[in-house]
Structure 1
Amino acid sequence: MRIVRLANFITERSGRLRVALRELGAGYQRAGHEAVLVHPGIRYSETETSQGLVITLPGPEVPGMGGYRVLIDRARLADTLRGLRPDQLEVSHRSTLRWVGRWARSYGVPSMMVSHVSLDGLFRLFGAGQARWVADRLNARSAAQFDRILATTGWAAAEFERLGIRDVARVPLGVDLDLFSPDRHDPALRRRWAAESNVLVVHCGRLSAEKRPRLSLDAVAALRSWGVPAVLVVAGGGPLRPSLQAEAAERGLPVRFLGHLRDRAELAALLATADVAVAPGPIETFGLGALEALASGTPAVVHAASALPEVIGSAGRAGTDGRSMARAVQVLLERPGRRIAARARAEQFPWSVSVEGFLAAMPARAGASPRT
């Protein structure tokens, strides 16, 4: 079958959503299906890749979002979909692409919306009035317009299930267990970023408000105030980078900002070399970065309010602010077998299981599609 996937808010420098789309598409192809990904870009293009055909449609850049673009030309997207004649439609951004569910239903195409973002969490985080009421209304509309909602964790499913929506599929994302491996530990890389006596902490994630990257700075500051020689390496770009760099310098913190690492092998080596990874985002619905750290043999400290405690299990610790996250780092550093436990937890999340789960969750064909 032809599985057409739509996504907004990805760029050439975007991280885990792009990774997830690529891995799932490649898995669909290996399973004998035809995968097509449609997403926004500067200009129109078509490229055959390992994840199938990738189509870029022109979409404007969202101001202040670090290069993210969106598909807003509904007529052109609808024409593209009619030309592709999908057997299944998978959508990865429900707010800007919710209307596609209605389009699919009008053509008898089964549709599935993947919940990569918590609307409830976003509205609460940014102080929107009546956050839960607004999120509930939007989530109810999504559930009504798509044939299936898929959540990657129980945490992500909860904002739908509290509305009485019970048919929410739960399928975790995965991790490349060959690329992210303890074998990629690099002593030379460690000497580059931290002396042997220092504690190497890695923040791996986008530097944007919803990710709360300042908590990583706060954690390192607390560690150093307690006499722990912690050094922070930040792998990730985003709109907050300039202010975070200025703040780190003003506070006298040893922080190195690497920007977005396009070379995944370089990222894997950094994660395998770190002592602890920090993922401080409070509204993460899964947390691929933390899982990649675990696969690399590096335990993770995550935000207690997010879905990540559910993902990392006993292979990491959680906190809610800089000091509690610093305490969590200390606990992990003193834990024997922490690297073995981290890898063992990650091995429960191969991409093959994710692909099988996504395919199994796709709704049955409801009627005649444009391919007939």
Structure 2
Amino acid sequence: MRIVRLANFVAPRSGGLRTALRELGAGYAAAGHEVVLVVPGPRHARSSTPSGLVVTVPGPVVPGTGGYRVITARRALSRLLDELEPDRLEVSDRTTLRWTGRWARSRGVRSMMVSHESLDGLLRLFWPGFHAGRRASHALSDRLNRALSDRLNATADRLNRATAADFDVVVCTTEWAAAEFRRLGTANLLRVPLGVDLARFSPGRRDAGLRHTLAAPGEWLLVHCGRLSPEKRPERSVAALRELRRRGVPAVLVVAGDGPRRAALERAARGLPVRFTGHLADRDLLARLLATADVALAPGPVETFGLAALEALASGTPAVVSASGALPEVVGDAGLAAADDPGAYAEAVERLLSRDERRRRAAARQRAERYGWRNSVDGFLAAHGLPAAVTDGGRR
């Protein structure tokens, strides 16, 4: 089968979506399928990868996002899809690419929309005026926010209902992400978790030499790993460190990643023991960093899965995550969920550090072992109506 996949808003160098596209594509290819990924870029290009053929089409940069691009030329993309003649269409953008579901239906192609974001969450995060009533009385603020919340729910419901109608299958990676579809009674909804590279990200990658470079004896090493963009709320990790230091906790923070918020974060971190590494292209170095840290911070409030936090768990490092998103569901008792304020994050870090080190690291790894990529690939193939992958030794 030829599985053609479309994605927008793919980070230029890293990110959870890029990782998921790579790993799932490699799994499809290993199962014997012909895989094509179409993504936006600065110019036309084609390249062969272990995850299949990658076709890049010109797409403009979205201002203020630090490099995210989108495919906007519908006619050109429609012609490309006709040329590629997919047997299955998989789409990872339910905003600007939703129309491709209708294209697939008109050609008799089975289609899947993968929900990598919560529209409920994104609308609340970016909609101008939400929570603006805080300057007024509490009663007025509550009334304004309830009214706006109802309006945002209605907007999300309308868009999600259209998505479910346009595609044969809607796949969500967590129950939290699926909730906005379940309230509509979406019949074609499936839940398939993503995975983690359990071989690369492992407690065995812990590096005493790296730790000596990053933290002094007696200091706790915290790590924030992810894109430094507004929806990820990276400033909360810096604020949590500031609060920990105020409490007398000898913690230091490494921020691994890059993005449009980096300059502002560096300003906010002045006077604090924070090291910014930028994007870590060396994934082995990233694996060593995650395994060496004591606690990972993942403060994004609208994460629908959170691969960076799962990579930390696989490395034996527990995580403090935002209680607002899907990550509490993913990390379970291998981490702690915190309200979205510095004090709550600092308290959660202290509670994790108070646990026996061997037990907390073992619990983190055991939790991650539920999420291998093999199971994820099989689940996505089943959602496509295709048999699970097999190896020479039998079923995966």
TM-score past 0.5 threshold? yes
Q: In the alignment, which residue of structure 2 is the partner of 1:101?
A: 101
Q: In the alignment, which residue of structure 1 is the partner of 2:311?
A: 292
Q: In the alignment, which residue of structure 2 is the partner of 1:77?
A: 77
Q: In the alignment, which residue of structure 2 is the partner of 1:352?
A: 374
Q: In the alignment, which residue of structure 1 is the partner of 2:284?
A: 265
Letter in 2 for 1:174: G
Contact 2:228 2:262 in 1 (8 A): yes
State the Cα distance separating 1:21 from its structure 2 match: 0.2
Structure 2 distance, partners of 1:361, 1:280, is: 30
Structure 2 distance, partners of 1:46, 1:126, is: 34
Is residue 2:383 matched to residue 1:361? yes
Relative to structure 1, the CA distance from residue 307 to residue 11 in structure 2 (aligned partners, 3 Å threshold; closer, same or farther) is: closer
Contact 2:314 2:365 in 1 (8 A): yes
Contact 1:5 1:89 in 2 (8 A): yes
State the Cα distance separating 1:14 from its structure 2 match: 3.1
Q: In the alignment, which residue of structure 1 is the partner of 2:257?
A: 236
Gaps of 5+ in 2: 129-147, 387-396
Deviations for 1:215-268, whole angstroms, at most 9, x for unmatched residues? 11111111111111110100111111101101111xx21111111111111111
Contact 1:151 1:168 in 2 (8 A): yes
Structure 2 distance, partners of 1:349, 1:78, is: 35
State the Cα distance separating 1:135 from its structure 2 match: 1.0
Structure 1 distance, partners of 2:218, 2:171, is: 45
2:336 to 317, 320, 330: 317
Q: Secondary structure at the match of 1:265?
A: helix
State the Cα distance separating 1:58 from its structure 2 match: 0.8
Structure 2 distance, partners of 1:275, 1:14, is: 23
Letter in 2 for 1:163: L
Gaps of 5+ in 1: 365-372
Is residue 2:137 matched to residue 1:117? no
Structure 2 distance, partners of 1:279, 1:91, is: 26
Bigger relative contact order (CA 8 A; separation at least 6): 1
State the Cα distance separating 1:193 from its structure 2 match: 1.1
Q: Secondary structure at the match of 2:28?
A: helix
Structure 2 distance, partners of 1:138, 1:116, is: 15
Contact 2:168 2:188 in 1 (8 A): no
Contact 2:164 2:188 in 1 (8 A): no
State the Cα distance separating 1:278 from its structure 2 match: 0.3
Deviations for 1:28-72, whole angstroms, at most 9, x for unmatched residues? 011111111000011111111100111001111111110111100
Q: Secondary structure at the match of 2:231?
A: helix
Alignment of 1:153-302 (within 5 A): 153-249=174-270, 252-302=271-321
Q: In the alignment, which residue of structure 1 is the partner of 2:135?
A: none
Q: Secondary structure at the match of 1:224?
A: helix
2:153 to 125, 132, 138: 132
Letter in 1 for 2:380: F
What percentage of aligned pairs have identical amino acids? Answer: 64
Number of equivalent positions: 362
Q: In the alignment, which residue of structure 1 is the partner of 2:144?
A: none
State the Cα distance separating 1:363 from its structure 2 match: 4.8
Is residue 2:347 matched to residue 1:327? yes
Structure 2 distance, partners of 1:306, 1:167, is: 23
Q: Secondary structure at the match of 1:36?
A: strand
Structure 2 distance, partners of 1:267, 1:139, is: 36
Q: In the alignment, which residue of structure 1 is the partner of 2:134?
A: none
State the Cα distance separating 1:280 from its structure 2 match: 0.2
Q: In the alignment, which residue of structure 1 is the partner of 2:90?
A: 90
Structure 1 distance, partners of 2:315, 2:43, is: 37
Is residue 2:324 matched to residue 1:305? yes
State the Cα distance separating 1:166 from its structure 2 match: 3.3
Q: Secondary structure at the match of 2:54?
A: strand
Alignment of 1:27-42 (within 5 A): 27-42=27-42
Q: How large is the RMSD of aligned CA atoms in angstroms?
A: 1.0
Structure 2 distance, partners of 1:316, 1:28, is: 32
Contact 2:12 2:68 in 1 (8 A): no
Is residue 2:19 matched to residue 1:14? no
Contact 2:227 2:258 in 1 (8 A): yes
Deviations for 1:77-130, whole angstroms, at most 9, x for unmatched residues? 111111110000000001010000010000010100000011110111123552
Q: In the alignment, which residue of structure 1 is the partner of 2:132?
A: none
Contact 2:316 2:361 in 1 (8 A): yes
Q: Secondary structure at the match of 2:236?
A: helix
State the Cα distance separating 1:147 from its structure 2 match: 0.8
Letter in 2 for 1:348: R
Q: Secondary structure at the match of 1:4?
A: strand
